[in-house]
Amino acid sequence: MTYLDEILKSRRDTRHFTEDQVPEAVLEKALQAGHWAPSVGLTDATKYYLIKSGEMKKAIKDLFLDYDKKAISLTDNEQQKQAYKDLKLEAIEEAPLGLVICYDRSVLNNFTIGTVGSNEAVKFSSVCAAQNIWLSLTEQGYSMGWVSILNYYQFKQLLGLPENMEPLGYFCVGKPATDYDNQPMLQQLNWKQKQEIPLVEEITILHENKVEKVFFDAKKETDAATFANTLQHKIDQKTKPTGSLGVLEVLAKQIGMVFQTLEPKIIKPNLVVFAADHGIANHGVSTYPQDVTRQMVSNFLIGGAAINVFCKQNKIQLAIVDAGVNYDFPMNTDLISAKIGKGTRSFLQGPAMSKTEVELCFMKGSEIVATIAKKGSNCIGFGEMGIGNTATASVLMSIVLELPIEDCVGKGTGVNDAQLIQKINILKKCIDNYDGLEDLDSKLAYFGGFEIMQMVGGMLKAKEENMLILVDGFICSVAFLIAFKKNPSITKNAIFCHSSAEQGHQKILDYLGVRSLLQLDLRLGEGTGCAIAFPIIESAVAFLNDMASFESAGVSGR
């Protein structure tokens, strides 16, 4: 065994340290080793921050403790929960030195060799640097412990890191107080045994990557004028002045026309939230870092988000779809996996997606809705989650409606005025850079988002299945706009649940010639507008089915 092998084998994720300080020479040598690590496109995107202040360490420890409670709650059983509590997972306050290793995603503002396939390549470079530092410290008789159980958004705020700087975590650095019996600590404590040899398998069969083009059936609709008159007569004969229930009467007629019955029923209502990440988010178009997409999907899965609350309140079945989040979720969750990729590429530098990926999105969205329809549902709402997707949606709106980008861009989840100007300038540059074909599908591929295109496929399938389609806010309305371009009759099935605070949203509703149910200045997404509006939709059905007529109540009409 060579000396290098000895170092590699003896490296430990250390949680127990002596009080010895880390000499400057040791730290300098370790950081130099990190600097020698591979760097995608020679970007030098890795940066290091040192933490020595006791006050800072305590604040970071508090962040850890807050998230550690969530980790405890996710354990599989009481025995595992107790075993987890017994583990020492950090030495934030005990270690003499704290190190924060970051990658600078602003390097993606310019073309970077090696990042076309994945924006994460910049992060991978910083992980390589972390490993080099670890090995150098080990060789010098010191060590490091990686603390990742943190809310990274709060962590960045606490450290005052610029928006473009993303931390890998907090690293505890010092002289190890134990060798853990020359084995990983988790193995020493019987949490899990590490395999003796690596997993290796040769792939000998080339699997064909086949994506079938999805054709949506835009059925010819028969002349329904006679039934419409009959339905309107039923509405007018209810014990009320004609038109006095306002929008509820319009809704009742629409729903009756969709289901072609005088006694419509909403059966097994569903709401599907499609989540994905966007390469354009790396260019400062959002106030939140991209990792919030992953965090919010996890929040959906444990029932802690607004959409969970409203769906539970109104007895709506909720499904969450990973359409392309930049994260690998555990397999044992209720997440529908439809991942096309770990986020789109940045359309500042080239196409966000390929045409094949767009077709795959349509197919995945269609399959998800088809499965829900087969279970007997006739009403489906659409929601979304994805940091940066208002930027993507704004560009798509601009392209489809041929409007200046300034008329389409809003503040999203809360950018300030200066950030809004920056957002507009970046998106204007993106559109100006486009030199592809002028057909719609080419532009959808260039500027699209995985969750938006899956919603398009889902909406078109819902129309094909003759379901009631509930449309949420700005991003969902952009998806609907694209679906409308492919099948204009889809508006007959659609209920637009609210007008959001995004300036482009009302422009889309005006273009479609439709009216939304609510004006609540919502800008959350998630499908929350659909869930909040659902009781109103149920009220329209209820009065149509259950309210007495003038004749049955013995009340004189006009």
Catalytic residue numbers read 526
CA proximity to 326, closest of 362, 367, 281: 281
List the one residue out of 147, 126, 144 whose CA is nearest residue 11. 144
**385 neighbors 451 (Cβ within 8 angstroms):** yes
- The strand pairing partners of 381, in sequence order, are 271, 470
73 in helix, strand or coil? Answer: helix
DSSP string, 469-484: EEE-SHHHHHHHHHHH
Residues 6+ away with beta carbon under 8 Å from 426: 280, 283, 284, 285, 348, 391
Token couple for 75? 């354990």
- Whether the Cβ atoms of residue 500 and residue 478 lie closer than 8 Å to each other: no
Place of tokens 């200066």: 418
Q: Supply φ then ψ for residue 382, to 5 degrees.
A: -120, 135
Helix axes 474-486, 450-464, angle to 10 degrees: 50
The closest of 244, 240, 94, 74 to 178, measured between CA atoms, is: 94
Burial of 293 (C-beta count, 10 Å sphere; 0-12/13-18/19+): buried
What are 534's two structure tokens?
Answer: 């659902």
Report the distance separating Cα 137 and Cα 175, nearest Å. 9
Token pair, residue 339, equals: 């991942």
Are the beta carbons of 413 and 390 closer than 8 angstroms? Answer: yes
402's tokens: 């041929």
Helix extents (H) in 99-213: 121-139, 152-159, 185-188
Q: How many residues in total does the chain contain? A: 558
Two tokens at 97? 């030195």
Residue 214 near residue 363, CB atoms below 8 Å: yes
Q: Please report, as a single letter, which amino acid is at residue 141.
A: G
CB 534 within 8 A of CB 528: no
The amino acid that residue 103 corresponds to is Y
